[in-house]
Amino acid sequence: MKRASLITLILFGSLSAVNSVRAMDYPLPPAGSRLIGQNQTYTIQEGDNNLQAIARRFNTAAHIILETNNTIAPVYPAPGTVITIPTQMLLPDTPREGIVVNLAELRLYYFPPGENSVQVYPLGIGQLGLETPVSITRVSQKIPNPTWTPTAGIRARSLAQGIKLPPVVPAGPNNPLGRYALRLGIGNGEYLIHGTSAPDSVGLRVSSGCMRMNAPDIKALFAQASVGTRVQIINEPVKFSVEPDGKRYVEVHRPLAMLEGENPQTVPIAQPAGLASFVAEQGSDKVLVNKALSRRAGIPVAVSTGEGPVVESTGQSALNREVPVAVTQALQ
C-alpha cells in the first residue's frame, strides 16, 4: 500500500490525497529532534455528524481532536466551526524500532525497518479495569482472517448485558477482530493488535485489553510487520523535547482514568523522569509549562522563554468536502 507523505499533503493540499491516505506517514526528524508533522485546520461542514467521522477522514482519534478543541461539541458540532486537526506531535522517547504504542495518546507508531519514516495510526485500547498492559514484547503470530473465541470473562460480561455470545465467531466482515490480527507475546497470547467491525470504537477505551485499528490501517501494518517485530507499549501522557534549533516543546494528553468517574482534565499527571530538569533549565518558561500541563491540549506546545500563546489553533488548512450523513453512532 503506497502512502503519500505528510509533506506531500502539505505541499499539494490534494483533496484526493487527504481522502485516500490512511496512515499518516511522516519523515523521521533529524538527529536530536522529536517533532514531526504540522497541524491542520478544518471547517465543520453540514452533514458532519460527529467527530468520529472527521477523525477517520484524517486518520486520527476523536479523543485527541477533543483534547485540542475542548470547546466544541463531540456530537453535531456546529457547521462553520474551525477546528485544529492534531497532526503534529512529538515522537515517544523510545527506540525508533518496530511498533510503539502510547496508550495515553491512543496512537500506534510503526517504524518500517530500513526506512527513514514513521507511520502513525489511531488506536482503540482496553477499557477501565481491562487495561492494555504496559510492556515490551514481540509479534508472536500473524493471523489473516482470524476467528474469534470469546473468553470466559467476555462471555460473562456480555451475558450480564443480555447478550449471549456464540462459542466461536467465524472469520468475515462481522468478526470483531476484523480481517487481520497480530498476536503479541505477552500473557497467554490473549493480547492482539487487530481490526474491528466497529470502526467508531477506534480511538476509544472500549476493548478487553486488545488494541483495535481501522480496517485499512491494520491491513497496511499486517503487510509490513513480521513475526518477531519489537512491540513497546507505554502509557506516557507527557512528552517534551529540546529541538536542534533550541526551541522547547511540551505535549500533554489527558491521562487515562484509573477510577470510575475520574476527570482526566483535572486528575494529577505523573510527571516523567527528566521533566523537572527540563523545566529548570535555562530557556524553559515555567509558567508556560505549567499552563500546558493544565490545558492538556494533546499537541506540542512551545514553552521556550519568550513564546506567545500556549495553544495556537492555526496550521495547514485542509481542503473541506461535503460529508454524507452515514455515521450515526455518537462519540462515547
- By annotation, the residues acting in catalysis are 194, 210
Per DSSP bridges, beta strands 180-184 and 211-212 are unpaired
DSSP sequence for 125-154: EEPTTSPPPPEEEEEEEEEES--B---HHH
- Return the sign of the alpha-carbon dihedral for residues 160, 165, 171, 173: negative
> How far is Cα 158 from Cα 12, in angstroms, rounded to an integer?
48
By three-state DSSP, how is residue 50 classified? strand
Among the listed residues 27, 52, 54, the one whose alpha carbon sits nearest the alpha carbon of residue 38: 27
Cβ proximity of 106 and 206 under 8 Å: no
- Tell me the three state secondary structure of residue 89: strand
Give bridge partners of residue 119 from the DSSP assignment: 25, 110
Q: Do the strands 117-122 and 24-27 form a parallel or antiparallel pair, or are they unpaired?
A: antiparallel
Place of cell 456530537: 75
Helix (H) or strand (E) holding 130: none
